[in-house]
Amino acid sequence: MALGTFLKHTRAAREAMRAEGYPPEWAEALSAYLACVISKVANYNSTLAKWQPTGNKAGNTFTHWALPMVWDFAENNPLRSCCSSGHTGARLAFWYLDPIAGLAVSVLIVKMSITLLRPNIGILMDERPDTVILDEITAIAQKVLGVRAIDSLRVHRRGSTFTVDVEIAVDSGLTVEQGHQVASEVKRTLLSKIQYTQDVVVHVNPYRPMRICNFAIRK
């Protein structure tokens, strides 16, 4: 499938050059170069290409006029510059370039691992969301009709989603049903406007002007 994809785009490149008005000789030359590259990729990147310890390099597939039987194979990555440099250097008898390329690849793998590990540790440890998200939740909840104040706000991580636990203050003269309607509207609004919100739990308290709002954020 990979070789078929390469061939498809090689032919498409030739047709694209012709459509752009390039000289026919250029299109044919590009097709020839790409065909040579595909031939080398197929020869040195098949499951029949063995590793040659003596030359510290990958051997080709067609060692003789028949396909060989092998127990294992060498896996190359010709698309990375450092891997290609090491492979090319090893083939040119500069054996030390291959371990240098391997070290460079190891550094890239470690760097990528650290980059991916840091945000995922925060998710596993239930790290609090960014302050911007907390401020956005507070502002949206306060705009709901009937909400006089936000007494408490807790936001918990659940993998890639959030669970919001908020206490709102409403007029003490409202009935239980009216307070429930305000709470339902707060929940509906937060679920629709805050991205990645899994669930919202709303508690209703009577509004007291002298109450000191407490934004308790779980870490």
**Helix, strand, coil percent values for the chain (each to nearest 5):** 50, 15, 35
Radius of gyration of the chain (CA): 32
- State the pLDDT at residue 182: 94
Distance of CA 83 to the CA centre of its chain: 23
Which residues, other chains included, contact 141 with Cβ-Cβ below 8 Å and sequence gap of 6+? 147, 150, 166, 168, 186, 189, 190
What H or E segment, with its residue span, contains residue 153?
Answer: strand 149-158
Confidence of residue 90 (pLDDT cuts 50, 70, 90): low
pTM for this model (two decimals) = 0.45
pLDDT tier at 219, thresholds 50, 70, 90:
very low
CB of 174 within 8 A of CB of 182? yes
Q: What is the pLDDT of residue 217?
A: 43
pLDDT digits (tens, 9 = 90+) for 130-184: 788 889 999 999 999 999 999 999 988 777 788 899 999 999 889 999 999 999 9
**What does 28-97 look like in DSSP terms, one character per residue?**
HHHHHHHHHHHHHHHHHSSTTPPEETTTTEEPPS-SBSB----S------TTSHHHHHHHHHHHTT-TTH
